[in-house]
Amino acid sequence: MAGDSATKIKAYAVPAVLFSLSMLYQLVLLPRAFPPSHYDVLGLKTYCSMEEVKEAYENLESKWNSGLEIPTTTEFIKIRYAYELLTNPIWKRNYDVFGINEQDHVLEKLSQQYAGEKFSNIALPLLRTVASDTGDDAFNVITSKEFQSMFQDSKPWLLQVYSYGSNQSAQFANSWKRIAALLNGVANIGMVELGEVQVAAYLSERKPMGRFFFRNGLPSVVAFPSGCKTSDCLTRFEGELSVDAVIDWFAMAVLNLPRIFYYSKESLGPRFLAKSSPHKVKVIFFSKTGERATPAIRQAARDYWNYATFACVLWREEEFSVWWNTFGVESAPAVVFLKDPGLKPLVYHGSVNDSWFLDVLEQNKQQELPQLRSLTSEELGCDARGYSRAGRDTLTWYCAILAGRLGPELDSMRETMRRVQETLSKSSELKAASEDEHSITAAVALKSKRLTLSWLDGETQKNYCFFYLNIESSYETCGPRRVPTDVPRLFIIRYERNATEDTFKVDKKAKSIWEFHQQEVDPAAQLSVTYNVSAEVSRIIQWMSNIIEDGDSRKLPFYRVKTPELVPEDAEPFWSRGPQGLLSKSMGTKQKIQRTIIRIYDYLGDPRIGPALLLGALMSFGSIWLMRTQQNRSVQSSQPSQADNGVG
């Protein structure tokens, strides 16, 4: 018998579990998901009119006044709360359509405040009414008609869903003005009032049964990225509403802009200055408030990524001496530009205006002595495949390049070359007669943009470096460090283009190995000379002037070769991989888990689950019972036949 019972329990385990789950859902989970509504408190049907609400409350009030019924304090607070909520047209609309009930915390607060007192001692009204002021020009209130045509603009949209009767929306008004000001010119800003029911419903979330709701209440902030015109690509802000949080979310998740990190006095050197590319200008913002960079500055960080790198520092008065001695910063806000080694930082004190900052950044995006890189070679005129900075009509031009491995020796020589450039720039502004005759030629060439001064990372660009410094000791300058000493070297390249070839270019396939070789070489002929004298500014200027005079006056061999390609020195920026690349894998996994939990929680409020589980339990029970009955009948029918065979 015991074995029989165990077999039956095992057979009916699935329907038993389904039945238990259905009862648990119907008796425990569903009541929690659907607590009594404020209509239930007044004994009314859902969505009844305000007149019916007033009538129901007056009936209850007459009973209280006559002494027929005396409500407890908690009961009175619940009834009065429901009455005030459902007799306010805006609150009732928000509650009926979107389930918004943002003052429900008042119930518990007042119950504790008036515990043990008579209901007549409770101060009325319970709810506070505050109207949202949207008369300011900063608010662009969007109607249903305007919503249909607003996506013609290519800019992304940031929308706030609010209600005139929402206290939280009123409190967020000043913050929204600040957000609108920070995003001015970067994105379109708009507001949607819940009275625009069609638009508000379109921007809301839906429960499994189809009811519209805003998970975090009002105000709700949503965004449409550039090119997005449907709710499928709509992005919601989830978190505590603040100017800094909304701006940071919109900049990263919608605009796909980089985040500019804050550093302390201890971490700025090792984590920012030491890790930044040597060719980039370092831009440091000093802030008293600790707010993140505006979208306009982040956009600049993205646009000028090849030239500059950005950091923020929170200003503290006790650290004044550190920043004054290091950069010359007296107070915040301030912006510091760090350029070449040994060059005094450029410091700008005062608030940063976006347009002003972009102008200053454009003027200071390059180091005084620029680095020769794959992205700057043609811009600097140091590319045999390109042209002179002086223009396409210039057939002969020069590029003086300082090559070496990164280190103090190269920094010292870079400073010398920067003084050379500064001396030549000043010389070019004066009358030629008043200058040393040896500097005139180089100064004129620099002014006419036929001469460029730059520096080269000999370790990273080892092939390029070895190609031009084809000497026995070039390993002291080019490639990985193999000796204790580093020796930076200066060389100058003379480029010459054939005007006839540029004018009569004919596209044709190579017919021989020689013609193929001719097509592979660079268009401009090159001759290079290495400087081997002392590192004095005057001697270097004299040497460059002699080279230019000689190159301009003599007919030199037109020798063309294939120059090694410059290696790209910067990895792909992380924001170029799209918005999903902005988050780490762990952060993305965390968000996926949270969203999955939220979806499960939403579906727990679906009243169809309980009946579905019960139906599943009944169907599985019936199927198992039918299968077992058929098996028992087949066994019973086989036993008499076996007995007959035994008798015969």
* Amino acid making up residue 536: E
pLDDT value for 513: 39
Distance, in Å, from the CA atom of 339 to the CA atom of 102, rounded to the nearest integer, reads: 53
Relative to beta strand 188-193, strand 157-162 is parallel
Q: Classify 71 as helix, strand or coil.
A: coil
Distance, in Å, from the CA atom of 57 to the CA atom of 55, rounded to the nearest integer, reads: 5
- Residue 449: DSSP 8-state: T
User: Would you call the peptide bond into 31 cis, given omega within 30 degrees of 0 as the criterion?
Assistant: no
Tell me which of 3.40.50.1000, 1.20.120.1200, 1.10.287.110, 3.40.50.1220 is the CATH number of domain 35-128.
1.10.287.110
Task: Give yes or no for residue 462 having a pLDDT over 50.
Answer: yes
Task: Give yes or no for residue 328 having a pLDDT over 50.
Answer: yes
Cα dist. 256→152, 247, 310, 385, 580 in Å?
A: 21, 12, 17, 35, 9
Instruction: Grade residue 578 by pLDDT with cuts at 50, 70 and 90.
Output: very low
Tell me which of 3.30.70.20, 2.40.50.140, 3.40.30.10, 3.30.70.270 is the CATH number of domain 262-364.
3.40.30.10
Instruction: Give yes or no for a contact between 560 and 522, defined as CB atoms under 8 angstroms apart.
Output: yes
Residue 493 CB-density burial (10 A; 0-12 exposed, 13-18 middle, 19+ buried): buried
Instruction: Grade residue 577 by pLDDT with cuts at 50, 70 and 90.
Output: very low
pLDDT value for 189: 94
Task: Give yes or no for residue 582 having a pLDDT over 80.
Answer: no
Distance, in Å, from the CA atom of 385 to the CA atom of 562, rounded to the nearest integer, reads: 9
Residue 108 burial (CB count, 10 A): 11
Cα angle for residues 492, 496, 501 (degrees, 5° grid): 160
Instruction: Give yes or no for a contact between 298 and 258, defined as CB atoms under 8 angstroms apart.
Output: yes
Instruction: Give yes or no for a contact between 102 and 214, defined as CB atoms under 8 angstroms apart.
Output: no
* Amino acid making up residue 236: R
The residue that leads in pLDDT, 44 or 595, is 44
* Average pLDDT for the chain: 85
Residue 86 burial (CB count, 10 A): 26
Across the range 111-128, mean pLDDT stands at 90
Lowest mean pLDDT among 18-32, 146-160, 164-178: 18-32
What is the enclosing helix (H) or strand (E) of 539? helix 537-553
- Residue 574: DSSP 8-state: G
pLDDT value for 602: 65
Lowest mean pLDDT among 154-168, 169-183, 397-411, 423-437: 423-437
Lowest mean pLDDT among 104-113, 285-294, 335-344, 630-639: 630-639
pLDDT value for 607: 74
Polymer length of the chain: 648
Lowest mean pLDDT among 74-88, 102-116, 593-607, 634-648: 634-648
Lowest mean pLDDT among 153-162, 203-212, 279-288: 203-212
Across the range 526-539, mean pLDDT stands at 91
Task: Give yes or no for residue 220 having a pLDDT over 90.
Answer: yes
* Amino acid making up residue 101: N
pLDDT value for 313: 96
Cα dist. 179→135, 170, 250, 447 in Å?
A: 17, 15, 10, 46
Contacts of 170 (CB under 8 A, 6+ apart): 130, 131, 132, 133
What is the share, in percent, of the chain residues with pLDDT greater than 90? Answer: 57
What is the share, in percent, of the chain residues with pLDDT greater than 70? Answer: 85
Across the range 62-84, mean pLDDT stands at 92
* Amino acid making up residue 177: K
Q: Classify 481 as helix, strand or coil.
A: coil
pLDDT value for 506: 41
pLDDT value for 583: 37
Instruction: Give yes or no for a contact between 522 and 384, defined as CB atoms under 8 angstroms apart.
Output: yes
The residue that leads in pLDDT, 631 or 219, is 219
Contacts of 150 (CB under 8 A, 6+ apart): 142, 157, 188, 190
Task: Give yes or no for residue 137 having a pLDDT over 60.
Answer: no
Q: Closest Cα to residue 278, out of 179, 172, 164, 406? A: 406
The residue that leads in pLDDT, 82 or 279, is 82
pLDDT by residue (tens digit) across 17-40?
888 888 887 777 766 667 789 999
Task: Give yes or no for residue 432 having a pLDDT over 60.
Answer: no
Distance, in Å, from the CA atom of 26 to the CA atom of 587, rounded to the nearest integer, reads: 36
Instruction: Grade residue 156 by pLDDT with cuts at 50, 70 and 90.
Output: very high
Instruction: Grade residue 250 by pLDDT with cuts at 50, 70 and 90.
Output: very high
Instruction: Grade residue 126 by pLDDT with cuts at 50, 70 and 90.
Output: very high
Across the range 304-326, mean pLDDT stands at 94
Task: Give yes or no for residue 352 having a pLDDT over 60.
Answer: yes
Lowest mean pLDDT among 26-35, 228-237, 506-515, 587-596: 506-515
Cα dist. 640→78, 630, 635, 647 in Å?
A: 73, 17, 10, 11
Distance, in Å, from the CA atom of 157 to the CA atom of 186, rounded to the nearest integer, reads: 9
Distance, in Å, from the CA atom of 305 to the CA atom of 303, rounded to the nearest integer, reads: 6
The whole-angstrom distance between residue 404's C-alpha and the CA centroid of its chain comes to: 37
The residue that leads in pLDDT, 483 or 331, is 331
Q: Is 267 left (phi over 0), alpha (psi -120 to 50) or beta?
A: alpha
Task: Give yes or no for residue 153 having a pLDDT over 50.
Answer: yes
The residue that leads in pLDDT, 24 or 181, is 181
Instruction: Give yes or no for a contact between 306 and 570, defined as CB atoms under 8 angstroms apart.
Output: yes
Based on its alpha-carbon atoms, the radius of gyration of the chain, rounded to whole angstroms, reads 39
What is the enclosing helix (H) or strand (E) of 282? strand 281-287
Lowest mean pLDDT among 31-40, 197-206, 217-226, 359-368: 31-40
Q: Closest Cα to residue 610, out of 11, 42, 31, 10? A: 31
Instruction: Grade residue 592 by pLDDT with cuts at 50, 70 and 90.
Output: low
pLDDT value for 180: 93
pLDDT value for 504: 43
Distance, in Å, from the CA atom of 294 to the CA atom of 244, rounded to the nearest integer, reads: 9
pLDDT value for 500: 67
Architecture of domain 374-500+520-553: 3-Layer(aba) Sandwich (3.40)
- Residue 474: DSSP 8-state: G
Residue 34 CB-density burial (10 A; 0-12 exposed, 13-18 middle, 19+ buried): exposed
- Count how many Cα atoms sit within 13 Å of the Cα of residue 497 in the half-sphere of its side chain: 22
- Residue 260: DSSP 8-state: P
Cα dist. 264→22, 290, 310 in Å?
A: 57, 12, 14
Task: Give yes or no for residue 435 having a pLDDT over 90.
Answer: no
- 59-65 contact pairs (CB < 8 A, 24+): 64/119
CATH top class, domain 144-254:
alpha beta
Q: Classify 478 as helix, strand or coil.
A: coil
Instruction: Give yes or no for a contact between 465 and 406, defined as CB atoms under 8 angstroms apart.
Output: no
The whole-angstrom distance between residue 568's C-alpha and the CA centroid of its chain comes to: 25
pTM for the structure as a whole: 0.75
Question: Which tokens hold the place of 241?
Answer: 């509403």
Distance, in Å, from the CA atom of 396 to the CA atom of 488, rounded to the nearest integer, reads: 26
Residue ranges matching CATH 1.10.287.110 in the chain: 35-128
Task: Give yes or no for residue 131 having a pLDDT over 90.
Answer: no
DSSP 427-443: HHHS-GGGS-HHHHHHH
Distance, in Å, from the CA atom of 59 to the CA atom of 53, rounded to the nearest integer, reads: 10
Distance, in Å, from the CA atom of 531 to the CA atom of 198, rounded to the nearest integer, reads: 76
pLDDT by residue (tens digit) across 610-625?
788 788 878 888 888 8
pLDDT value for 586: 37
Residue ranges matching CATH 3.40.30.10 in the chain: 144-254, 262-364
Relative to beta strand 235-236, strand 220-224 is antiparallel
Cα dist. 394→377, 522, 528 in Å?
A: 17, 17, 19
